[in-house]
Amino acid sequence: MPHPQCEYLSYTGPLCVLTLQKPKAGQGMNTAFHDALNFAWKVHLVESGFADRSILTTYESERKQIAENLLDFDAKYAALFSKRPPSADEVGSASTVATGEEDEFVKTFKSSCEFTSGYGVAYDPNIFNWSPGHPAKSPLFNVPGVKLTPGRAFTPSTVTRLSDANFVHLEQEVPANGSFRIFVFAGIPSQTRKAIADFAANLEKERSFLSVYRRPDIADVTYFERHNPHSKLFTICVIYASDKNGVDLQAIPPVLRAYRHHIYADDLPDVRVPNAKYAAHEKLGFDPEKGGVVVTRPDSHVACTVQLVEGSGTVDALNAYFGSFSTKPLGQNPQQSHL
C-alpha cells in the first residue's frame, strides 16, 4: 500500500484495490501494472522538470474509471463462475445448441476481450489526450481520415527497420522509458521531401520542444544511442511509404537520421488491409502522398495526430501540444500561452 503521506498521490484506490481481485482472467495484476506505468511516467515528467506537478491529477481521472470497470467486470464474471453447473439432463438436451444461442459465459468472455487484452482501455480527453473537441489553435490537429482515437492504444503495425532489414512491430520499438513517441508517417519520399525537410529544420530551431528539452549530456551521446540521441523525453520514428531499397538514407535530414534505428519502410502486407500498397499508412488512415504525425504518450496511448505540411506548421502544432503542460515556453514566441 502506498505510504499515507506520499505527496504525489491524490487517489490510491486502484493501487490498493486491483491487486486483490480474484485471478479469473488475470486482470487484477495486469491492471495494477498499468496503474503503475500510468503513474510512473507522469512522475518522471515532473521529476525531470518537463511538466508541472498538477498533471499528476490525471492519474486519478484516468485510472479510477478503469478500476471501476474492472470491479464491474469482476462482479459479472464472478457470478458466472458461481452459477450452478448444468445437470446431466440439461447437458444431454443440448438446448443451447438446438436453439443456436451462445453460452452466457462464452458470450461474456467474448464481449470483454478488448478490455481483458488491454486494448479496450480508453482515456477521456484531457491535457494529454487531444480529441477533435480540444480548443487547439492549429487547424493541423486531427488528421482527416486517420483511424486513431486520442486516449486509446496505438494500433499495431508491422514495418521493416532499415538499420538491419528486420520485420518489427512498430508499437514495440520504443521501450517504456518515459519518452513520448513521435511517429512521423513520412509518406512517399518523392512527394513529401520538402515537408520532411521543413519538419527537420523546425525541430532544430532554438525554441522547439526538442531543443528546449535537449539532454544536458548531448556532447557525450554515443553513436550507438538508439532511442534518445537528443532528449530523454522524446523518441522520433520515421516511416516511409516505400520498399526498403527506395529510401535514400543520405537524403534524410541529419536531425532525423540521428534516429537511425528508428527509420522504417512501410513495405509489408497486412491482412487487415489486403489491398493496401503501404499497409501501415493506409491501415491507420494516412494518405501515402501526404503522410502525417502521431504522438503517443510514454504508455503507448495516442496523444494527438498532426498533419505533415511544408513550412513550420507541423512543429508549431507539436510545440503547442507539449507546451500545454511543459514548464518552459515552447515555440518561437516566448510569451506563448498554454492552451
pLDDT digits (tens, 9 = 90+) for 285-332: 999 999 999 999 999 999 999 999 999 999 999 999 999 999 999 997
pLDDT digits (tens, 9 = 90+) for 228-276: 999 999 999 999 999 999 999 999 999 999 999 999 999 999 999 999 9
State the pairing for strand pair 180-187/234-240: parallel
Q: Which residues pair with 239 in a beta bridge?
A: 185, 264
Asked if pLDDT for residue 188 goes beyond 60, the answer is yes
Residue-level pLDDT at 14: 41
Query: Grid coordinates in use for 45?
Result: 515528467
pLDDT band at 336 (very low <50, low <70, confident <90, very high): very low
User: Residue 1: which residues within 8 A CB-CB, separation 6 or more?
Assistant: 12, 15, 16
Can you give the pLDDT at residue 267? Answer: 98
Q: The cell 528508428 sits on which residue?
A: 262
d(CA 315, CA 236): 13
pLDDT of 164 above 60: yes
**CATH 3.40.50.300 describes domain 158-323:** no
Cα end-to-end distance, the chain, whole Å: 36
Mean pLDDT of 113-125: 80
Q: Give the helix/strand (H/E) hosting 181.
A: strand 180-187
pLDDT of residue 225: 81
pTM equals 0.85
C-alpha cell at 246: 527506395
Say whether pLDDT at 5 is over 50. Answer: no
Grid cell 520514428 in the structure block, residue = 237
pLDDT recorded at residue 88: 57
Mean pLDDT of 275-279: 97
pLDDT per residue as tens digits for the range 58-88:
999 999 988 888 888 778 777 776 775 555 5
CA distance linking residue 1 with residue 13, whole number of Å: 10
| Partner residues linked to 161 by β-bridges | 166, 264
For residue 280, give the 3-state DSSP assignment. helix
Percent of the chain with pLDDT over 70: 82
pLDDT digits (tens, 9 = 90+) for 84-114: 555 555 445 544 444 455 567 667 767 677 7
- Classify strands 263-265 and 234-240 as parallel, antiparallel or unpaired: parallel
Nearest CA to 142 among 46, 330, 286? 286
What values do phi and psi take at 19, rounded to 5? -75, -5
Residue 180 Cα distances to 40, 248, 289, 303, angstroms? 13, 26, 26, 9
What lies within 8 Å, CB to CB, of 102 at 6+ separation is 96
Residue type, 69: N
- Strand blocks (E) in the chain: 158-161, 166-169, 180-187, 234-240, 263-265, 292-296, 302-306
Q: At residue 42, does pLDDT exceed 60? A: yes
CB 199 within 8 A of CB 315: yes
Residues facing 226 on adjacent strands: none
DSSP output for 92-160: HHTHHHHHTPPPHHHHHHHHTHHHHHSTT-BPPSSSS---TTS--S-TTBS-TT----TTBBPPP-EEE
CB 134 within 8 A of CB 162: no
Q: How far is CA 222 from CA 6, 22, 88, 209, in A?
A: 37, 47, 70, 22
Query: At what angle are helices 57-82 and 27-47 packed, to 10 degrees?
Result: 180
Angle at 131 between CA 129 and CA 135, to 5 degrees: 100
Please state the domain extents for the chain: 13-117, 158-323
Q: Residue 240 pairs with which residues in a beta bridge?
A: 187, 265
More confident: 87 or 4? 87
Q: What gap in Å lies between CA 304 and CA 317, rounded to an integer?
A: 10
Question: In whole angstroms, what separates CA 111 from the centre of its chain?
Answer: 24
Among 239, 123, 249, residue whose Cα is nearest residue 171:
239
Please check the confidence at residue 208 and state whether its pLDDT lies above 90: yes
Q: Which residue has the higher pLDDT, 184 or 1?
A: 184
The pLDDT, as a whole number, for residue 15 is 44
**296/261 Cα distance (integer angstroms):** 18
DSSP state of 266: -
